[in-house]
Amino acid sequence: MADTVLIDELHLTVRIPTDLADAEKQAVRRTLAGADFLRRLGRAVRLVVRGHPELARVRVSLTR
């Protein structure tokens, strides 16, 4: 039996302008797909969660 239960999911939506050049679109995609971006996003999420004592016991995961 699981020791946690899912109570909420949050989704991050990234939008780009329709007239963005192909090279810029590729750069955005590369950045979003990169390990550094995901690592830094995870760090930011953990920092925000730690700022709320009522969330001290929750487990947060970040996946693609």
Element counts in the chain: helices (H) and strands (E): 2, 0
Angle at 29 between CA 15 and CA 17, to 5 degrees: 30
CB atoms within 10 A of CB 57: 7
pLDDT in tens, 10-52: 999 999 999 999 999 999 999 999 999 999 999 999 999 999 9
Cα distance between residue 26 and residue 7, in whole Å = 35
The helix/strand/coil state of 17 is coil
pLDDT value at 2 more than 80: no
Global confidence as pTM: 0.82
pLDDT value at 64 more than 90: no
pLDDT value for 1: 64
